[in-house]
Amino acid sequence: MLATAPPTAVAATPDAGRRRRAGRRWRRLVSPVVLVAGWEAAARAGLLPPEKLPAPSQVLSTGVRLAGDGTLGVHLLDSLTRAGVGLLVGGVLALLLGVAAGLLRLGDDLVDPPVQMARMLPHLGLVPLLIIWVGIGESLKVTLVALGVFFPIYFNTYAGIRDIDERLVEAARTCGLGPAARLRHVVLPGALPSLFLGLRLAIGAAWLSLVVGEQVNAQTGIGFLMMEAREFSQTDVVVLGLVIYALLGLLSDVALRVWERRTLTWRRGLRAT
Amino acid sequence: MATRTTGNLTGPTGGTGDAAAVLTAHGVRRAFDGRPVLAGVDLSIAAGEVVALLGGSGSGKSTLLRVLAGLDAEATGRTGLRGTAAVVFQEHRLLPWKRVGDNVALGLTGPDVRARVDRALAEVGLADRRRAWPAELSGGQAQRVAVARALVRGPDLLLLDEPFGALDALTRLRMQSLLRRLRAEHGFAALLVTHDVEEALLLADRILLLDGGVIAEEIPVDLDPARSPDQPAFGALRRRLLDRLGVPAA
Ligand SMILES: Nc1ncnc2c1ncn2[C@@H]1O[C@H](COP(=O)(O)OP(=O)(O)O)[C@@H](O)[C@H]1O
Ligand SMILES: [Mg+2]
């Protein structure tokens, strides 16, 4: 009988699976580590001229130095503020318009056609026009980020609402839920997975827009740090800026994934079946 | 637009003047793209009565049920409901993002919601699954939660659209006896849409046949409450219904 089987026999299988997965994770670290080590070795051996590509250790120590004297913190904060404000402005606007177009026929007819037309424009190509419109100051950077954020959030909000199973809405109606309650209990939670996807794409677009925006006459920010360093041929600072941009993208993505997993716990059950 | 009267139907709006009717419908019509599906349906269900609605696939059973549930704004005719109705659909239609207990509690208010939910779940034998996600349930369990979600509202009328049609044969038998037990305990009236003649005969006091967009035939089921398919009277009624539905004898 199953009940008399030793419990260890059952427990052993998932344990072995976990160990195998952990082993694989370590193996996947090997080639990046080898690459960085090779880069370091090549720089030290003089194969890589330092003005073209400094050693990783040099980039790291530059990072520590700039972090220590507060320079890095100031510029990082400015970059983060631009990204945050742009994300907020573009995101809220996209959310409002996406909800209006997704829920209301009038909203769909009025909002969706112009948005569909505008999505064809590569928003980074708008930089010259935006400079004419809003100048080269702070508003250019924020506008660029907001534009990049707008489209993924708008389209995923719209699609998330449109893809909701009409039968669930109907069932909620038979349970006595009015329009506001249906929005809260059915439409919004149903659109949430799509909203998270939109947000993830939007954050990627936000960093990209920031990189481009900060190369236009910035006085602060990570991009400014890199442009200034290029003038003085401080390649280590340029590489440091790149690493920071990459880390920002990575960290925001990980944070969003964790948030998503916490919020959408109900999907775990879905995956198991 | 179907005019809907809620509340007392004994007045002049009651039509047939059936004082005990929990649901009445008069001249219900519905067309899709000019093609009529319902062409003037009249029916009435007495309090505590279980009526089965039989009909071939595509005969308009679900369309009629949606009109009666007040879900179809484009139907014409008059429907009247005295008391409250709850609906169980063929698919469970549970919200995947709400736990079982919250699905049952959907739209309920009051201080004792939790206790009512627990009682309803216990009645369908799922007291221990209150915190489960719908995706973690089997088809039969999910459908039982849907029944609990309807029951917890204490409805005077249960509208059931092929509620067990998607379940395997064994589960279906269990669900049928569950429904019989619940009905005996709560005394709700029910309109059971089905294409299963045996299910109709097992559960209903009266059978309506939907054909050509109207109630083509009305057949009282004069069997004792503890009926079973083995009884001769059951077999005779079954044959008669199958003949009427155009299923030839084997
Ligand atoms: N929303 C709809 N749009 C167009 N046709 C529909 C719609 N709903 C039902 N119908 C049509 O109405 C007829 C009856 O459908 P339905 O009531 O679902 O039948 P049943 O439940 O008896 O199988 C079918 O021919 C179906 O194609
Ligand atoms: Mg149907």
Using CA coordinates, name the residue in chain A closest to B69.
A174
> Lowest-confidence range among A147-156, B19-28, B93-102, B185-194?
B19-28
**Residues in chain B whose Cβ is within 8 Å of chain A:** 69, 71, 85-87, 89, 91, 93, 95-99, 106-107, 132-136, 149, 153
A163, A173, A175, A268: best to mutate for the B interface, most B CBs within 10 A: A175
- Count: domains in chain A: 1
Residue nearest to atom 1 of ligand 1 (CA): B32
CA–CA dist B100, B117 (Å, integer): 10
Nearest listed ligand to the Cα of residue B33: 1
CB distance B107 to B177 below 8 Å:
no
Task: Decide if pLDDT at B126 tops 90.
Answer: yes
Is A140 domain-assigned?
Answer: yes
Residue A179 domain-assigned (yes or no): yes
Q: What is the mean pLDDT of residues B219-228?
A: 86
The answer to whether B97 contacts A272, with C-beta atoms less than 8 Å apart, is no
Q: How confident is the model at residue A22 (pLDDT cuts 50, 70, 90)?
A: confident
Tell whether A189 is within 8 A of chain B (Cβ): yes
pLDDT classification of B6: cutoffs 50, 70, 90 = low
Chain A / chain B CB contacts < 8 angstroms = 63
Question: Which among A168, A189, A272 has CB closest to B93?
Answer: A168
Q: Using a CB-CB distance cutoff of 8 angstroms, which residues of chain A are in contact with residue B136? A: 269, 272-273
* B107/A181 CB distance under 8 A: yes
CATH code, A124: 1.10.3720.10
A83-118 per-residue burial string, b: 16 or more CB within 10 A, e: under 16: bebbbebbbeebbebbbbbbbeeebeeebbeebeee
Nearest atom in ligand 1 to B193's CA: 21
CA of B64, nearest ligand number: 1
Q: Which residue of B has its CA nearest to A179?
A: B107
The domain spans of chain B are 39-84+155-245, 94-153
Please report the DSSP string for chain A in residue order: -GGGS-HHHHHHHHHHHHHHHHHHHHHHHHHHHHHHHHHHHHHHTTSS-TTTS--HHHHHHHHHHHHHTTHHHHHHHHHHHHHHHHHHHHHHHHHHHHHHHHH-HHHHHHHHHHHHHHTTS-GGGGHHHHHHHH-SSHHHHHHHHHHHHHHHHHHHHHHHHHTS-HHHHHHHHHTT--HHHHIIIIIHHHHHHHHHHHHHHHHHHHHHHHHHHTTTT-SSSHHHHHHHHHHTT-HHHHHHHHHHHHHHHHHHHHHHHHHHHHHTTHHHHHHH-
- For residue B250, pLDDT beyond 70: no
Q: Ligand 1 pocket check: which of B32, B209, B215 to mutate, most ligand atoms within 8 Å of Cβ?
A: B32
Pocket residues for ligand 1 (CB within 6 Å)?
Answer: B 32, 37, 55, 57-63
Contact A21, A13 (CB under 8 A): no
The helix (H) or strand (E) run that includes residue B19 is: none
Instruction: In whole angstroms, give the CA distance from residue B233 to residue B236.
Output: 5
Mean pLDDT of chain B: 90
A220 residue type, one letter: T
pLDDT score of B15 more than 50: no
Helix ranges (H only) for chain B are 61-68, 100-104, 113-123, 139-151, 169-186, 197-203, 232-244
Q: Return the ∠ at Cα A174 (arms to B124 and B30), rounded to 5°.
A: 125
**Locus of tokens 């920071």:** A244
Looking at all shown ligands, the one closest to residue B68's CA atom is 1
Select from B63, B67, B93 the residue whose CB has the most chain A CBs within 10 Å, as the one to mutate to test that interface.
Answer: B93
In whole angstroms, give the CA distance from residue A165 to residue A79: 41
Which range among A10-19, A119-128, A165-174 shows the weakest confidence by mean pLDDT? A10-19
Structure tokens at A81: 């503020």
Q: Among the ranges A243-252, B7-16, B233-242, which has the highest mean pLDDT value?
A: A243-252
At the top level of CATH, the class of B39-84+155-245 is: alpha beta
pLDDT reported for residue A162: 95
Give the pLDDT band of residue A117 (cuts 50, 70, 90): very high
- Residue B16 pLDDT > 60, yes or no? no
Q: Are B150 and B118 in contact (CB under 8 A)?
A: no
Residue A162: phi, psi to the nearest 5?
Answer: -65, -30
Chain B residues whose CB is inside 8 A of the A268 CB are 133
Residues of A in contact with B91 (CB under 8 A): 167
Q: Tell me if A172 and B136 make a contact (CB, 8 A cut-off).
A: no
Domain range spanning residue A202?
A: 73-261
Query: How far does the centroid of ligand 2 lie from the alpha carbon of residue B137, in Å?
Result: 24
A177 touches chain B (CB under 8 A): yes
The closest of B154, B99, B87, B110 to A185, measured between CA atoms, is B99
Residue B85 pLDDT > 90:
yes
What confidence tier does A24 reach under pLDDT thresholds 50, 70, 90?
confident
Q: Which residues pair with B3 in a beta bridge?
A: B78
Cα B98 to averaged position of ligand 2 atoms, centre (Å): 26
Question: What local confidence, expressed as pLDDT, does residue B45 receive?
Answer: 97
pLDDT of residue B33: 94
Lowest mean pLDDT segment, chosen from A68-77, B34-43, B235-244: B235-244
**Contact (CB<8Å) A269/B135:** yes
Stretch A208-226: mean pLDDT, rounded?
91
Closest atom of ligand 1 to B162 CA is 21
Whether A67 has a pLDDT exceeding 80, the answer reads yes
pLDDT of residue A225 exceeding 70: yes
**Which of A173, A176, A266 is closest, CB to CB, to B133?**
A266
Lowest mean pLDDT among A168-177, B58-67, B161-170: B161-170
Percentage of chain A lying above the pLDDT 70 cut: 93
pTM of the model: 0.83
Q: Are strands B85-88 and B157-161 parallel, antiparallel or unpaired?
A: parallel
- CB-based contact A175 B93, cutoff 8 Å: no
Q: Mean pLDDT across the stretch A187-197?
A: 96
Separation in Å, CA of A183 to nearest CA in chain B: 13
Chain B positions in Cβ-Cβ contact with residue A189 (cut-off 8 Å): 95, 97-98
Which structure tokens are listed for B187? Answer: 């005394």
* Segment among A36-45, B123-132, B241-250 with least mean pLDDT: B241-250
Please tell me the predicted confidence (pLDDT) of residue B131.
95
| Mean pLDDT score, A70-75 | 94
Give A13 or A165, the one with higher predicted confidence. Answer: A165
**pLDDT tier for residue A20 given thresholds of 50, 70 and 90:** confident
Would residue A192 count as lying in a domain? Answer: yes
CA A106: distance to chain centroid? Answer: 32
What value does the mean pLDDT take over residues B6-27?
62
Whether A171 and chain B come into contact, CB under 8 Å, resolves to yes
Span from the CA of B58 to the centroid of ligand 2 (angstroms)? 7
What confidence score (pLDDT) does residue B9 get? Answer: 38
Q: Does ipTM surpass 0.90 in this model?
A: no
- Of the listed ranges A13-22, A82-91, A139-148, A183-192, the least confidently predicted one is A13-22
Give tens-digit pLDDT for B135-147.
999 999 999 999 9
- The partner residue sitting opposite A273, judged by closest CB among B71, B106, B135, is B135
> Are the beta carbons of B54 and B245 closer than 8 angstroms?
yes
